[in-house]
Structure 1
Amino acid sequence: MLIIKKLKAKAKKLMLDLVVLHLAYQNSKTPWTAKAIIVITLGYVLSPIDLIPDFIPILGLLDDLILLPLGIYLAIKLIPKEVLETSRILAKTYEWERKKSVMAVLIIALIWIGIACTTINLILYNKY
């Protein structure tokens, strides 16, 4: 039971960190490098496709356990302290807007569809 409690606490902290990144992205004082890493990290979280599919034993979950915390860590290191503190305070009471979340997922899905269509087109019509 102790392990489950620890996992729930870590998951809750992870969700809070994602909200902090979302809020920091909206702040004009956040540098563009941090914003780029935030977009990549949040895009990875919302993406319906993983780099390594989860059904592959061990490796499937390993990419989530490494890439997501790494993206959060890098973004937090690049965000100015005052922006980070403000975002952490706001994140505790922040409510996600459902419309924005659905739009973000749709945009990411369209990007993946575009990549798939381009790849198929290159394979079928461009002989190397």
Structure 2
Amino acid sequence: MPQAVWKESWKQKAKKLKSEVVALYFAWKDPRMPWYAKLFSLIIVGYALSPIDLIPDFIPVLGYIDDLILIPLGVALAIKIIPPVVMADARKKASEVQTKPKVWIGAVIIIGVWILIVTAVVLFIFKKL
């Protein structure tokens, strides 16, 4: 397979994933969504659109696991639990927007996780001293 075709297929997949994340955002706002689908969609959208990653990208290999594995799997699962009519309407809305929404709740959650990790490490170190 020529390299240009390979790159193009990855670009198309990435573009589709971004579009699906925006569609999940609109589905999350839909009142027809079940509560569990809303909650899961909020987590996925918050994390995907967050300006902060749980595992920073500068960490070799691990930094890209969330971008390459966790987000696509989360999006796929969310789409499976969302009613098809809601997802179809959300995809239509997503195709009409020009910029992706900013979801800061993901950043807040990730900062909270990092604070808990640092606190646990500090407490562990103090107990060992």
Band the TM-score falls in, shorter-chain normalisation: 0.7 to 0.9
Q: What does residue 108 of structure 2 align with?
A: 107
Q: Is the 8 A contact 2:22 2:100 kept in 1?
A: no
Q: Is the 8 A contact 2:56 2:63 kept in 1?
A: yes
Q: What does residue 94 of structure 1 align with?
A: 97
Structure 1 residue 18 corresponds to structure 2 residue 21 = yes
Letter paired with 2:108: I
Q: What does residue 81 of structure 1 align with?
A: 84
| TM-score of the aligned structures, taking structure 2 as reference length | 0.75
Which range moves more in the overlay, 107-116 or 5-14? Answer: 107-116
Q: Give 1:5-44 correspondences, 5 Å limit.
A: 5-44=8-47
5+ long unaligned stretches in structure 1: none
Structure 1 residue 56 corresponds to structure 2 residue 60 = yes
Letter paired with 2:86: V
> Could you tell me how far apart the structure 2 residues matched to 1:83 and 1:97 are?
19
Percent identity between the two aligned chains? 32
SS in structure 1 at match of 2:53: coil
> Could you tell me how far apart the structure 2 residues matched to 1:91 and 1:114 are?
34
Q: Is the 8 A contact 2:28 2:41 kept in 1?
A: yes
Which range moves more in the overlay, 110-119 or 62-71? Answer: 110-119
SS in structure 1 at match of 2:32: coil
Letter paired with 2:88: E
5+ long unaligned stretches in structure 2: none
After superposition, the Cα gap between the structure-2 partners of 1:94 and 1:70, relative to the gap in structure 1 and judged at 3 Å, is same
